[in-house]
Structure 1
Amino acid sequence: MNAIDLRKRLALGAVAGLAVVGAVVGAGAYAAPETEAEPIDAVAVAEVQEEGVRGANALTHEAALAVLDAAQDKAAELGERVTVAVVDRNGNTIALVKGDGAGPQSPDSAEAKAYTAVSWGQATSDLAGAAEGEGATVADIPGTLFLAGGVPVVYDGAPIAGVGVGGAPSGDIDEEIALAGLAALADLEG
């Protein structure tokens, strides 16, 4: 059975299920004549041609884990307790590790820094000035954090991921740890 046949069967099953529910609910108010319903043709999934599709680059599972390991190694070397987060191009968390003793705020901070870095394609330390000033600023955008400690992962000139670190006593230390995680990507074998 191919995928389209399965989709047709599922669609017909859903329609039949709704008909049964409708019949049970409406049975007290109306008795429908007993007739056999005509089957409904389900709409097939649209096939998109190559011109309508854009590819996206993303970190592999192994690459994300290498970032986490290298960053946590650097944190241990510095005697810091941090959380490290890696997000994809859309800002979705794909890897996170909360180090032993890291504060309860550190996961949120690490994710927000990683999200901010990939969103703007710049280190969060370089963006801090944009978040200052009177009135509305970029700091008002939900989910962002303009403190040092977030760095973008760039491939072929475009950001594809973000690395964020939260929990050290200063953003400079968080950024040093994030950069150590980023450096691990250069050591991966293709």
Structure 2
Amino acid sequence: MNLSRRLPRALAITVPAVALLAATACGSSQDSTATPSGTEVAPVAMSSQKPGDAEKGTVSADRLSVATAGRAAQAALAKCQADGLGFVTVSVVDRFGSVQAMLRGDNAAEHTVEAARAKGYTAAAFGANTSDLAGRVKGDGPTIADLPGTLFLPGGVSVKVGNASIAGIGVGGAPDGNADQACAAAGLAEIAGSLQ
């Protein structure tokens, strides 16, 4: 397909350069590639991809197993129950906010379901605990708190493999967000040894 016919002239000129950059980044054996404008493009290492991903046109992403997500949720709820806070909801979500495991404690209010999911997603998406992110939502005008589906209250922890955030554990419903945070941290502590 000839993209230059369908794109404005300014964009059509850059398409070959982008294609060459992509080819170079995906494992071209040349040391550098010249674009139509004469600019050289150096190869880019794709260390986050697994061997063969570039050739398949796909990437792989780490995700918690159902058993691991379930263990994290159970440990977080057990901590809350031990602290007399069994009326919370625990949600373990993947990097994109999809729920992998959820436990709704006895008498947990309906709003705790979404609060737990949103805290887990926020921690996963930002790669940080929500208690640490709370200070970033202050200021005049729009802030990151305006992002749909996020909740910047304590109670969400990021689950990481190396430096990559792959999941989040969110707890909602305790009278104090720091209690939610402690329960979520207990869930993370339960699975930390099994993360690679």
Q: State the TM-score, normalizing by the size of structure 1.
A: 0.71
Larger radius of gyration: 1
1:185 to 176, 180, 191: 191
2:71 to 66, 85, 88: 66
3-state SS, counterpart of residue 65 of structure 1: helix
CA distance in 2, matches of 1:116, 1:189: 20
CA distance in 1, matches of 2:152, 2:89: 17
1:75 to 80, 83, 89: 80
Q: Structure 1 residues 49 and 116, CA, compared in 2 at 3 Å: closer, same or farther?
A: closer
2:59 to 43, 54, 59: 54
Counting only pairs closer than 5 Å after superposition, residues 26-45 of structure 1 correspond to structure 2 as none
3-state SS, counterpart of residue 148 of structure 1: coil
RMSD: 1.7
Tell me how far 1:50 sits from its aligned partner: 3.0
3-state SS, counterpart of residue 118 of structure 2: helix
Unaligned runs of 5+ in 2: 1-52
1:115 to 92, 112, 121: 121
What is the aligned-residue identity percentage?
Answer: 47
Show CA shifts across 1:70-108 (max 9, x none): 011101100002100011111111111110011221001
CA distance in 2, matches of 1:188, 1:74: 19
3-state SS, counterpart of residue 86 of structure 1: strand
Counting only pairs closer than 5 Å after superposition, residues 4-153 of structure 1 correspond to structure 2 as 50=55, 52-80=57-85, 81-153=87-159
Runs ≥4 in structure 1, deviation > 6 angstroms?
Answer: none
3-state SS, counterpart of residue 134 of structure 2: helix
Q: Structure 1 residues 142 and 50, CA, compared in 2 at 3 Å: closer, same or farther?
A: same
Tell me how far 1:156 sits from its aligned partner: 2.4
Contact 2:161 2:195 in 1 (8 A): no
Matched with 1:9 is none
Q: State the TM-score, normalizing by the size of structure 2.
A: 0.69
Q: Structure 1 residues 176 and 49, CA, compared in 2 at 3 Å: closer, same or farther?
A: closer
Matched with 2:3 is none
Matched with 2:29 is none
CA distance in 2, matches of 1:115, 1:129: 17
Unaligned runs of 5+ in 1: 1-47
Matched with 1:172 is 178
CA distance in 2, matches of 1:130, 1:49: 36
Structure with the bigger RCO (C-alpha within 8 Å, sep 6+) is 1
3-state SS, counterpart of residue 109 of structure 1: helix
CA distance in 2, matches of 1:189, 1:130: 29
Q: Structure 1 residues 73 and 136, CA, compared in 2 at 3 Å: closer, same or farther?
A: same
